[in-house]
Amino acid sequence: MSTLEIKDLNASVLLDEDNSKQILKGVNITINSGEVHAIMGPNGSGKSTLASTIAGHPKFRVDSGSVRLDGEDVLEMSVDERARAGLFLAMQYPVEIPGVTTSNFLRSAKTAVDGEAPSLRTWTKDVKAVADRLKMDPTMIQRNVNEGFSGGEKKRMEIMQLELLKPKMALLDETDSGLDVDALRVVSEGVNRAKEENNLGVMLITHYNRILRYIKPDYVHVFNDGRIVEQGGPELALQLEEEGYDNYVAAAR
Amino acid sequence: MADTSNTTTRPAPGADVTTAEDDVVAGVRTDEARVAIPGMTQEGEKLATEHTAGDDSEVEVTIRRDPKKPAGNSRAERTASYDLADFPELTGREEDFRFTPLKRLNGLHTSDLTGEAPSVTVSGTDLVTVETVGRDDARVGSAGIPEDRLSANAWAHFSQATVVTIPQEVEVDQTISVEIKGTHTDPAAQHVIIDAKPFSKARVVLHHSGTAVVSQNVEFTVGDSANLTVVSLQEWQDAGTAHASAQHAKLGRDARFKHVCVSLGGDTVRVTPSVRYTAPGGEVEMYGLTFVDDGQHLESRLFVDHSQPNCVSRVTYKSALQGRAAHGVWVGDVLIRPEAEGTDTYELNRNLILNDGPRMDSIPNLEIETGLIAGAGHASTTGQLDAEHLYYLMSRGIPEVEARRLVVRGFLFEILQQIEDEGIEARLREVVEAELSNADH
């Protein structure tokens, strides 16, 4: 049983050496193992900044507040330490890394997260099994990380890592964007499996209700102007689908 | 990474030219060559000398303004001669020597190169013939002609040449090893000839090691439909070694030539590979991997001379640089002559600066004298590791030091894979690993 606890988080994006702009304005949320929290909000509300700040992207600066995973101060950790502590960010736009093969990358990541190299025999089998279930081309493992992958392939690759690295908490940043229905189903099944098998806690960031038909949220948080402005159960997502974000955006003005 | 990419065209001889005697009224020409739109000629847009600066990189362009007086830095007009007297003493201000530290050449450009040449040992197969011949042998000069003073000085002073012949229609599976080992620093001249007869196929590795002050000419004749891979490894001891190597390839009809140039060791190393086509259909791939450490000067200047129709060239050179006074130079000259219709060429240079201190000069230079080509382009980037790449790897738990290693190795090993000899690749990976661990990347 793990808990990710975010308290009064304020953070800014660094625009250049001298300038920054505050994006997060006091975010509070607590996620336990096995729970799915949907963070929904209009574009530009700061949802992705929340995910990137928790993961430790150097472009964002925490101004105040705290992020704790099982009591440990996440903000004190480097990016790689956060991942080894059990946090995982499925990125909205994964980068291509020339010259580094997917197979080498996955093994290096698994070794780092587990603290020891995976057994060669079971590892190869595990990778193949996950790739099969995500309906990925088996030859992609020999290709360089994300190089020449389509948008859908990149998203599957993120979920593949989620399944293989077995984190405690996953932050899914607009994983549904750019996916057709078949890909969305395959990717959602991957997330659900990780939840079932590893009792994963999930922060699911999305603009649309669509993915929530496949990944059932326990809680829905409406995000606007850098903070959570409404909370509820799955019914809130349905309400948002009908009414849109206009009420919340207007209220913030 | 800073990105520098540019393409230059220049008018064909006889096209729009401007001279003082032309008819001009109020600053506007009235003769045939009158330009309706500023910046445009009858041939199309006349590019300004664009200069998109990256880190110490620049793009040189050549626009011939007067066909009677060609611009001096067009590759087509470069002096080519077997006679040393045709090449003036170097001052260091010459276009092709402006980056080379002449003092560190230890006399290769000024001395009589009378020292004993590094030893040459050929092994790996008995399918080829190996001979040692005198200067008067007919094969000397069959593929190459000096284009700079270092090469001409070597030509003037070598006493004998090693000739390796791959017979017609013979395909050699084993790598042919040419060990070139130096034992002293008296300035010397050397001459090696690789003659791949028509329809032959072979891979030749020139492995330079030891200590030497040597200027070389290496000639590769690639016969009709022959397929020759040459790997030139510069793995000298750093201290005291100065190496100039003019490597001249000449391709027959439908010949294929792959050249992999790996410069790792030596105080000052200057490799100048050049390729000429004598018939249509030739295909050339040129790869380079250079690892420049503290105080080293490693220079690669290549030339692809497209003078025949329907030939292809692909150039990919990469360098990694680390440490104080580490200096890398890459100059890629590609010339597409008017008769080389259907040419397809692309050259790429990527350089990775690993810490504070190194300097890299990267100059792609593409001259196009015909519009009837299949494709032509070039790109040059020089920069440090991409922060987003490191972030992605680290966000999966990989520590920063290891993330850097993964990215750097990926960058460099791509070139080694082109050697296609696992034994050599594995050994070179270890050498590069050792270089990297010096600075803990």
All domains of chain A, ordered by start, with CATH?
Answer: 3-252 (3.40.50.300)
**Given strand B375-383, what is the order of strands in its sheet?**
B2-5, B375-383, B344-353, B312-321, B283-292, B256-265, B227-236, B201-211, B176-183, B119-123
Name the band, by pLDDT with cuts 50, 70 and 90, for residue A250. confident
Q: A2-57 pLDDT, tens per residue?
A: 999 999 999 999 999 899 999 999 999 999 999 999 999 998 999 999 999 999 99
Which range in A58-72, A133-147, A234-248 is most confidently predicted, on average pLDDT?
A58-72
Spatial CA neighbour of B205 closest among B432, B413, B419, B415: B419
What is the predicted pLDDT for the residue at B438?
A: 74
Q: Which residues of chain B have pLDDT under 70?
A: 1-73, 439-441
- Dist. CA A175–CA A207, nearest whole Å: 10
Residues B90 and B134: beta-carbon distance below 8 Å: no
What is the predicted pLDDT for the residue at B410?
A: 86
Please give the interface size between A and B, counted as residue pairs whose CB atoms are below 8 Å apart.
79
Interface with B, mutate which of A69, A88, A95, A97 (most B CBs under 10 A):
A97
Give bridge partners of residue B221 from the DSSP assignment: B195, B250
* Torsion angle of the four alpha carbons B195, B197, B198, B201, in this order, in degrees rounded to the nearest 10: -80
List the domain boundaries for chain B.
54-386, 387-441
% of chain A surpassing 90 pLDDT: 83
* Opening angle at CA B303, ends B298 and B307, nearest 5: 175
A156 has a pLDDT exceeding 80: yes
What is the predicted pLDDT for the residue at B46?
A: 34
Q: Name every chain A residue with its beta carbon within 8 A of the beta carbon of B407.
A: 97, 99-100
CB of A103 less than 8 A from some CB of B = no
Give bridge partners of residue B277 from the DSSP assignment: B251
The gap between the terminal CA atoms of chain B, to the nearest Å, is 18
What is the predicted pLDDT for the residue at B15?
A: 34
What is the predicted pLDDT for the residue at B439?
A: 64
What is the predicted pLDDT for the residue at B64?
A: 43
3-state helix, strand, coil in chain B (%, to 5): 15, 40, 45
φ/ψ (deg, to 5) at A71: 85, -15
* Opening angle at CA A224, ends A222 and A225, nearest 5: 160
Q: A165-218 pLDDT, tens per residue?
A: 999 999 999 999 989 999 999 999 999 999 999 999 999 999 999 999 999 999
What is the predicted pLDDT for the residue at B35?
A: 40
CB of A165 less than 8 A from some CB of B = yes
B29 membership: H or E segment, kind and range: strand B28-29
Map tokens 């793990």 to a residue: A2
Q: Out of B388, B391, B397, whose CB is closest to A109? A: B397
A contact residues 67-86, partner B, Cβ 8 Å cutoff: 78-80, 82-84
Map tokens 């032509």 to a residue: B376
Q: Chain B: residue nearest A81 by CA?
A: B397
Determine the distance in angstroms separating the CA of B179 from the nearest CA of chain A, rounded to an integer.
30
- Dist. CA A143–CA A141, nearest whole Å: 6
When the pLDDT of each residue in chain A is averaged and rounded to a whole number, the result is: 94
Residues B206 and B229: beta-carbon distance below 8 Å: no
Chain B interface, Cβ < 8 Å to A:
386-389, 391-400, 402-403, 406-407, 409-414
Determine the distance in angstroms separating the CA of A112 from the nearest CA of chain B, rounded to an integer.
5
Name the band, by pLDDT with cuts 50, 70 and 90, for residue A244. confident
Residues B97 and B105: beta-carbon distance below 8 Å: no
Interhelix angle for A151-165 vs A102-114, to 10°?
30
pTM exceeds cut of 0.90: no
What is the predicted pLDDT for the residue at B33?
A: 44
With an 8 Å Cβ cutoff, are A105 and B411 in contact? Answer: no
